[in-house]
Chains A and B, each alone.
Chain A
Amino acid sequence: MTRGLDAVADLARRLLPADAVITDRARLRTYECDGLAHYRVTPGLVVVPPDAGSLAAVVAACNEHRVPFVARGSGTGLSGGALPHADGVLVVTSLLRSIREVRPEDQRAVVEPGVINLDVTRAATPGGYYYAPDPSSQQICSIGGNLAENSGGAHCLKYGFTANHVLSAELVTPQGDIVRLGTDAPDAPGYDLLGAVIGSEGTLGVVTEATLRLVRLPEAVRTVLVGFGSTDQAGHATSAIIAAGIVPAAIEMMDALAIEAAEAAVQCGYPDGAGAVLVIELDGPQAEVEAEYAQVERICREHGSTEQRLATDPADRALIWKGRKSAFAAVGRISPDYIVQDGVIPRTALPEVLRAIDEVSRSSGVRVANVFHAGDGNLHPLVLFDDAVHGAGEAAEEVSGAILDLCIEHGGSITGEHGVGVDKAKYMPRMYGEDDLDTMQLLRCAFDPDGIANPGKVFPTPRLCGEVPGRRKGVHPAQAAGLAEVF
């Protein structure tokens, strides 16, 4: 341990219950990675604070001793965002799990950061409400992680992302101060720092409480599974549905390989031999859902659907979603290793880009399964490989990079919801210029001038923040040297 880390550990031991400070090597190792397991670093120290106050004190100590810290929720992140620092502190929020308030009359819930996403919906449902952002990992991922990644989910097509559903948050700044961002009501006065913190991947501080917007449960829901001969047809059908002025709650696509994997894993009854399936969900007032369903049914038929299965009851709907939501894990059963990509393209480019991905896959001999949020063009190509085979990992990396390039060429993004983390930092310069990245880091410098909050993530190269500009302490060095007058 470095001397600084020792000092933080001392303070943590004085402040926290004994079992909340982990220094034992074997236990530290259980935190060495998040959902992206091929990056591993054993943290120098793990703390599991029982409240915001002690969490802030630990962060303040990190600040005093210039020790890096990394926040961790459930560790399901897929970009290495919660990858620990070997000489740093991993601040785990798993004890901060209380749902403080559920107020359907205000359409609000106030929760601690360690609260599991789905538990918010569970708590709100009796009052006729739910929490809309629904990552496929919603049974295990934390609200703090959701805020940090600005997580999305299948239903974000209609309802928006985490950033559209948070009104206010309590943040422990990298100096260890506890500040409130936003108000319970919309449009708090001042800069929208909350909007900037959401999606900042733990680089601007640690969120210790969030006030969430709850959404009214819809009157009617229709979920239909549609089989197509090819991803081309499914892609065109997706665009045609949107062009018809319909905003479904979700449109998800899976290709043949992904279908095969899901079917083998969870027997979800997806059509045999289909080249692609769409899971389309419509929700809203009964009459409109029925009218839109009729239209969707016709559009899919016109685009060559081979089979349409409308869920007739909640169990059936759950089964359709099960195939989709377990797809990542299912692919794990047909391939020892895989890389999940998260590129985004304009929706209309779907057929073209899927064909290009197929070509990359064929020419490299690396298999790629596609499972994704078709409605908003957010691809999740799963690049399959076997790490035991020499060079397979590198080949997969190459295919994965080529796919991101395709996304950028088509005016898209390198990440739609999983974040940049440590994994995609190197791709950031392909999407943004130096000035763009420099400007983003001005914000970083305002919050964290010493770069101790989750360093090494998001940005390929840290910006030196220097002194706070405009605030001169003492005599300017040039003036002291007699080189300049005071002006």
Chain B
Amino acid sequence: MVATALGEAARAAVGSACEVREATGDDAVDGTPAGLVARPADTSEVAEVMRASAAHGLSVVSRGAGTKLAWCPPPESADLVLDLTAMDRVLDHQAGDLIVEAEAGTPLAAVRSVVGEQGQRLVVDETTPGATVGGSLAAHASGPERMLAGTARDLLIGMTVVRADGVVARSGGRVVKNVAGYDLGKLLVGSFGTLGVITRATFRLHPAAETERWVSVPVADADAVHRLTHAVVHAQVVPAAVEVDLGGPARDAASGSFTVQLGGRATGVTRRADAVAHLLGGGAEVAQNAPDGWGRYPWAPDEVGLKLTCVLSGLRDVVAAAAGAGARVRGSAGSGVLYAALPVTAAGGVVAAVDRLRATCVARGGSAVVLQAPPDVERSCDPWGPVPALDLMRRVKERFDPDRRMAPGRFVGGI
């Protein structure tokens, strides 16, 4: 049985809103046991569930495919898990207008395949297999192609959210250009379910590349990563991605690689691939497919997963610091957003390593966030580091979720 004790009235209220079942051990959120699992079929059912949970003071954790539920600290409680996987429809694809609208529980892969049929693509990388639209937005996941078109934040043009009190709100719309009203979509991106439930999202699309190439070269150290990144981003090769993968499975620095993705028209891509190969120097190889592990996080489930950011002039220092800590580093060197996998040694050692890495990132204009970690490490280290404007963030949370029921404790400053 589950530890959470929910009153009969609360159960009945949620049960009358949509399909509900008792939670099992598998529904625990990063170790926090769940009470009920509700599986709404559409936005209006989500609204009804949220009204019921507001009336009965239930804490709520939204869940898509659950691929990133272990990210961030666990919620303090999870009376109700809102399983959004029944909301999995691509609602509208207007190829001529290059836009698509999908429900939050739709797998990114499904959206990509629908728009792909018309020669288009949603430039939001699927960084974990199965990841949904809503989860990717809430966790602000990003992969290699952020170089090309930014992240989901930059491609999102409209959103429907259900508030903690059950009110349904829309912002943005269905056109790529629109400045009417506040951009609430951006506020919800990366909010990890602490402000409301994302139920629908509309994105701007791009034409699919006619041809793609991946130009790779082995790299052994931070110096090389830094040098090559600058050579590529300041050249005229318009990379779709500039990725590093250093400190492979064997933690063998020499097995690293540096890869530039190019996309576009066949003639142009071939020419640019040659130019990139020249920039990367001896040993560069041009491939028709992405290398292994492309766009996936570098960590194993039992490792500490970090997101490290910096400005481009700080790349050498950050990569060196990560390598020095024994981490495997993978990510978008070209945009200064890297992911690092730190093996768990003694917990104290990990905390100190995170602190050192963070100091380096912050000094280089960025941040170091612990995305996932084993429970003992999670308890002993600060996952976020310095958060600018934390007080304002608290005020925003207080307005959107005054009773602090949406994924309590999962976000910055214990929000």
Contacts and interface: CB of A to CB of B under 8 A. Distances in A.
Nearest to B332: A186
Given A150-B179, A245-B210, A181 B402 contact: no
Interface string B39-79: 00000000000000000000000000000000000000000
Given A164-B150, A285-B268, A189 B312 contact: no
A192 B190 contact: yes
A412 B173 contact: yes
A411 B171 CA distance: 13
A413 interface: yes
Nearest to A171: B389
Contacts of B267: 287-288, 291
A196 B182 contact: yes
A468 B177 contact: no
Contacts of B234: 104-105, 128, 216
Given A285-B271, A443-B187, A470-B404, A291 B177 contact: no
Contacts of A291: 265, 267-268
Contacts of B261: none
Contacts of B384: 189-190
A419 B389 CA distance: 26
A24 interface: no
A190 B183 contact: no
Interface stretch (A59-67, A251-259, A316-324, A426-434): A426-434
B399 A442 contact: yes
A439 B169 CA distance: 6
Given A216-B236, A443-B182, A187 B150 contact: no
A245 B154 CA distance: 20
Interface stretch (A12-20, A30-38, A301-309, A342-350): A342-350
A344 B177 contact: yes
Contact of A185 (B161, B181, B311, B412): B311
B399 A469 contact: yes
B248 interface: no
Contacts of A198: 183
A445 interface: yes
A187 B309 contact: yes
A8 interface: no
Contact of A183 (B177, B207, B388, B392): B388
B304 to A, nearest CB: 16
Interface stretch (A223-231, A265-273, A354-362, A370-378): A370-378
B181 A428 contact: yes
A106 interface: yes
A138 interface: no
Contacts of A199: 179, 182-183
Interface string B170-191: 1101111111111110110111
Nearest to B396: A446
A302 B394 CA distance: 57
Contacts, number: 275
B177 A413 contact: yes
Given A195-B189, A431-B173, A447 B154 contact: no
B96 A285 contact: no
Given A187-B309, A191-B187, A413 B388 contact: no
Interface string A166-191: 00000101000001111111111111
Interface residues of B, number: 90
B94 A435 contact: no
A163 B389 contact: no
Nearest to A128: B234
A196 B230 CA distance: 31
A129 to B, nearest CB: 9
Given A243-B96, A446-B398, A285 B180 contact: no
A183 B311 CA distance: 9
Interface in A4-57: none
Interface in A400-438: 411-420, 424, 428, 431-433, 435-438
Contacts of A149: 179
Contacts of B265: 287-288, 291-292
Interface in A119-169: 128, 149-150, 152, 156, 160-161, 163-164
Contacts of B176: 376-377
Contact of B175 (A108, A185, A186, A344): A344
Nearest to B388: A180
A185 B367 contact: yes
Contacts of B387: 188-190
Q: Which of A107, A173, A438, A471 has the most CB of B within 10 A?
A: A107
Given A104-B234, A160-B154, A347 B389 contact: no
Contacts of A184: 311, 365-366
A103 interface: yes
Contacts of B311: 103, 106, 108, 184-185
A310 interface: no
A239 B367 CA distance: 42
A291 B398 CA distance: 54
Nearest to A164: B154
B238 interface: yes
Contacts of A458: 181-182
B392 A193 contact: yes
B181 to A, nearest CB: 5
Contacts of A446: 392, 395-396, 398-399
Contact of B365 (A128, A173, A185, A195): A185
A392 interface: no
Contact of A179 (B119, B170, B361, B389): B389
Given A160-B154, A436-B170, A191 B184 contact: no
Nearest to A418: B179
B177 A185 contact: no
Contacts of B353: none
B389 A193 contact: yes
B313 interface: yes
Given A180-B388, A193-B393, A471-B398, A188 B179 contact: no
A462 interface: no
Nearest to B149: A160
B182 A191 contact: no
A242 interface: yes
B170 A348 contact: no
A99 interface: no
Contacts of A105: 230, 234, 312-313
A219 B183 CA distance: 34
A93 to B, nearest CB: 20
A245 B206 CA distance: 8
Given A419-B179, A424-B180, A435-B168, A413 B396 contact: no
Given A185-B310, A185-B367, A246-B207, A348 B94 contact: yes
Contacts of A376: 175-177
B9 interface: no
B173 A411 contact: yes
B341 interface: no
A373 B177 contact: yes
Contacts of A179: 388-389, 391-392
B177 A195 contact: no
A345 B177 CA distance: 9
B73 to A, nearest CB: 13
Given A186-B337, A190-B384, A346-B174, A437 B181 contact: yes
Interface of A: 103-108, 128, 149-150, 152, 156, 160-161, 163-164, 171, 173, 179-193, 195-196, 198-200, 216, 218-219, 239, 242-243, 245-247, 284-285, 287-288, 291-292, 344-348, 373, 376-378, 411-420, 424, 428, 431-433, 435-440, 442-447, 458, 468-471
Given A187-B190, A440-B181, 9 more contacts: A107-B233, A160-B150, A187-B140, A190-B388, A243-B95, A411-B173, A428-B180, A436-B181, A471-B398
7 contacts: A186-B336, A219-B236, A247-B206, A344-B175, A376-B177, A420-B180, A468-B395
